[in-house]
């Protein structure tokens, strides 16, 4: 998966199309990502040790990784990325439009 934690991404398909946010968590086995402020659901929760009151809480749900694209820092657009290996053998992700590291 080309998307990693703390990347800025844009949703390109689904109910939340057009929204941008940072990736909070990547679920590799399920091919899903959790994005800050996107796909918020309401969950009914019983009282427990951490949440004494209980009630209805709002939290982010995961969306499929194929529905998001990486946002380039330089371009400011949703772009595809590729990998480049420099002389030292370090692999970096590169924007396909401006050819600068993401």
pLDDT tens readout for residues 29-57: 999 999 999 999 999 999 999 888 889 99
CATH of domain 1-71: 2.30.30.30
Strands 8-11 and 68-71 come out as: antiparallel
**Which of these, 19, 26, 25, 11, lies nearest to 66 by C-alpha position?**
11
Determine the pLDDT at residue 102: 85
Task: Give the integer Cα–Cα distance in Å for 32 and 9.
Answer: 13
Numbered ranges of CATH 2.30.30.30 in the chain: 1-71
Q: Taking the model in full, what pTM does it have?
A: 0.85
């Amino acid at each position: 998966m080309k998307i990693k934690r703390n990347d800025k991404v844009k949703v390109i398909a689904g109910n939340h199309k057009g929204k941008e946010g940072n990736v909070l968590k990547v679920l590799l086995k399920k091919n899903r990502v959790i994005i800050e402020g996107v796909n918020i659901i309401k969950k009914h929760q019983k009282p427990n040790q951490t949440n004494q009151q209980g009630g209805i809480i709002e939290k982010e749900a995961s969306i499929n990784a194929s529905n998001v694209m990486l946002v380039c820092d330089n371009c400011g657009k949703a772009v595809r990325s590729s990998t480049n290996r420099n002389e030292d053998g370090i692999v970096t992700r590169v924007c396909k439009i401006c050819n600068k590291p993401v």
